[in-house]
Amino acid sequence: MPALDNDAQEAITAYERKRPTYERYTTSLASLLSTLLTDAGVRVHTIEHRAKTVESFRAKLARPEKVPRSNAGDDRSRGCARNRVLQS
């Protein structure tokens, strides 16, 4: 894996601190989605959720196409949490 610059290292450290929040967010959102869809009569096979691992985040930053083109905000953590609903 290529060496990362100081900004990338700082982003990784920040992500390590924020990851528990992303985990709670995806779990809460999955629960909310389940409740709303069930109440609406939508049959759901499963709701998946995850927070990107720190190693995966580090690998993402090592890919040149994933480094932001501008310093307008901290968008390096974009895509670190996701939920997916699979219908029956």
Q: At residue 16, does pLDDT exceed 60?
A: yes
Residue from 8, 15, 85 nearest 52 by CA: 15
Per-chain mean pLDDT for the chain: 83
Dihedral pair phi/psi, residue 24, rounded to 5°: -65, -40
Is pLDDT at 87 greater than 50 in this prediction?
yes
Q: Is residue 1 part of a domain?
A: no
Residue 52 amino acid letter: K
Element at 80 (helix H, strand E): none
Domain that holds residue 29: 6-67+80-87
Residue 59 lies in a domain: yes
Using pLDDT thresholds of 50, 70 and 90, give the confidence band for residue 26.
very high
37-64 confidence digits (pLDDT tens): 999 999 989 999 999 999 999 998 888 6
Q: Which residue has the tokens 């691992």?
A: 53
Residue 4: pLDDT band with limits 50, 70, 90: confident
Residue 14 lies in a domain: yes
Work out how many domains the chain is built from and give that number. 1
